Amino acid sequence: MAKAAPLEKRKAEYGSDVVVDLMKAFDIEYAAFNPGATFRGIHDSIVNYGGNYKPEVIFCCHEEISVALAHGYAKAKGKPMIAIVHNIVGLQHASMAIFNAWCDRVPVMVLGGTGPMNTLRRRPRIDWIHTALVQGNQVRDYVKWDDQPYNLASVPESFVRGYRIATTEPMAPVYINYDADIQEDAVATPIEIPDISRFAPPAPPHANPEALKHAADLLVNAKSPLIIADYMGRNPKTVPALIELAELLAIPVVDKGNRFNFPNTHPLDVTDGARELLRRADVILGLDVADLYGSLTTVSKQTRACEYVIGPSTKIIHISMNDMLVRSWAGDCQVLQALDVPISADTSVAIPELIRICRERMGSDGKQKAAVEARLKELGETHKSRRAKWLADAQAKASQREISTAFLAHELGEVIKQEDWVLVNGNSNGWARRLWNFAKPGQYLGTSGGAGVGYGMSAAIGAALAHLGSGRLCVDVQADGDLLMTSSSLWTAAKHRIPLLIVMHNNQSFYNSEEHGIEVAKFRKRPVENAGIGTHVSDPVVDFAKVAQGFGVHGEGPIEGTADLRPALQRALRFVQEKKLPALVDVVSEPR
Q: pLDDT digit string (tens) for 138-173? A: 999 999 999 999 999 999 999 999 999 999 999 999
**DSSP helix/strand/coil, 172:** coil
Enclosing H/E stretch for 90: helix 87-103
- CATH homologous superfamily of 209-380: TPP-binding domain (3.40.50.1220)
Q: What is the pLDDT of residue 445?
A: 95
Q: What is the pLDDT of residue 451?
A: 76
Q: What is the pLDDT of residue 546?
A: 98
CATH class given for the domain over 15-199: alpha beta
Provide the CB-side half-sphere exposure for 414 (13 A, CA). 14
Cβ atoms of residues 474 and 464 within 8 Å: yes
Q: What is the pLDDT of residue 52?
A: 97
Q: What is the pLDDT of residue 227?
A: 98
Distance CA 205, CA 207 (A): 7
Phi, psi of 64 (to 5 degrees): -60, -35
Strand ranges across the sheet with 341-344: 253-255, 225-229, 283-287, 315-320, 341-344
Cβ atoms of residues 102 and 50 within 8 Å: no
Q: What is the pLDDT of residue 64?
A: 97
Residues pairing with 491 in the sheet:
none
CATH 3.40.50.970 fits 400-588, yes or no: yes
What secondary structure letter does DSSP report for 323? G
- Residues forming CATH 3.40.50.970 domain(s) in the chain: 15-199, 400-588
Q: What is the pLDDT of residue 6?
A: 63
Q: What is the pLDDT of residue 366?
A: 77
Cβ atoms of residues 29 and 55 within 8 Å: yes
Cβ atoms of residues 585 and 557 within 8 Å: yes
Which stretches within 104-179 are classed as H helix?
Answer: 126-129, 155-167
pTM score of the predicted model = 0.95
Residues pairing with 147 in the sheet:
176
- Residues forming CATH 3.40.50.1220 domain(s) in the chain: 209-380
**DSSP helix/strand/coil, 454:** coil
The residue among 326, 346, 327 whose CA lies nearest residue 167 is 346
Q: What is the β-pairing status of strands 500-506 and 297-299? A: unpaired
Which residue ranges in the chain fall short of pLDDT 70?
A: 1-8, 592
Q: What is the pLDDT of residue 452?
A: 83
My answer on whether omega of the bond before 201 falls inside 30° of 0, hence cis, is: no
Q: How many CB atoms lie within 10 A of CB 452?
A: 21
Phi, psi of 422 (to 5 degrees): -135, 125
Q: What is the β-pairing status of strands 297-299 and 306-308? A: antiparallel
